[in-house]
Structure 1
């Protein structure tokens, strides 16, 4: 049923929102108590990956809902009344953003905001000097 898809979608969003918030809260706690630790950039990298998974899950649910509502509209064509199609007409079939803006369009911005926050942590905590030494030694080995 279409309503169960929406419930699962909400549960997935709640899960990813909670995990991302917990990661950022933990990073904030660590930075308030001490200098950034060596593994903090790994938490940020994990947060970035989670937000990418979250974004893909949102798109998957969006596609699944679109398909389910298309089936409902196809079934309505055979019935004497079509309330869902009438509702869609009242919303000008989604063409007027003042009447209707798909939740998935708004919802897909949330992982992006979290990804940006994780990227800030990643850039600020990544051991750039160690990476530069490693990269230089690899480059020298390749050139030889």
Structure 2
């Protein structure tokens, strides 16, 4: 038994607790499996909305900073640009942390889904699909989207710092 198996299964419930034992028990596992897959899908949808939110927020902040600074960035107040940089970097940090949190949450959800699959006839996701993708270990076969998503706020942060240095030096 894996670590998740120790916390996933209710020791007080067994197939013999169900009227037609195994069929009902398997049906209950299948229903819980479906619910877990649906919830993992919803987390992915929320993650996508969060990306859109932060991309929009960064765009608005850069546009506002550009509008306030005017057409000549070099003549803008260093304090104004520094304040704008602080706002943008704070947004990027929040974005990064949220993407990391979503990645961790989905990893836990998929561990539960995998454990539930071990009680079902097929291991469609945990062994078959994830195995076919090399479990995300070989970037030539598959790059997990959550890693790419976490890189975006880092790239934005580097661009913001480079832009600040270019306009103030």
Q: Same fold by TM-score, threshold 0.5 exceeded?
A: yes
Instruction: Name 1:27's counterpart in structure 2.
Output: 65
Instruction: Name 1:47's counterpart in structure 2.
Output: 88
Alpha-carbon offset, residue 98 of structure 1: 1.4
Instruction: Name 2:137's counterpart in structure 1.
Output: 95
Instruction: Name 1:62's counterpart in structure 2.
Output: 103
Distance 1:88 1:69, change over 3 A: same
Alpha-carbon offset, residue 27 of structure 1: 2.5
Distance (whole Å) between structure 2 residues aligned to residue 26 and residue 100 of structure 1: 38
Q: Which has the higher contact order (CA 8 A, sep 6+)?
A: 1
Alpha-carbon offset, residue 96 of structure 1: 2.2
Alpha-carbon offset, residue 122 of structure 1: 4.1
Alpha-carbon offset, residue 7 of structure 1: 1.0
User: TM-score by structure 1 length?
Assistant: 0.77
Distance (whole Å) between structure 1 residues aligned to residue 60 and residue 132 of structure 2: 41
Give the unaligned 5+ runs of structure 1: 129-144
1:13 aligns with 2:51: yes
CA deviation map 1:2-42 (0-9, x unaligned): 01101111111111111111222223333316731453321
SS at 2:71's partner residue? helix
Q: How many residues align?
A: 127
CA RMSD in angstroms, aligned pairs only: 2.1
Alpha-carbon offset, residue 125 of structure 1: 6.5
User: TM-score by structure 2 length?
Assistant: 0.67
Give the unaligned 5+ runs of structure 2: 1-38
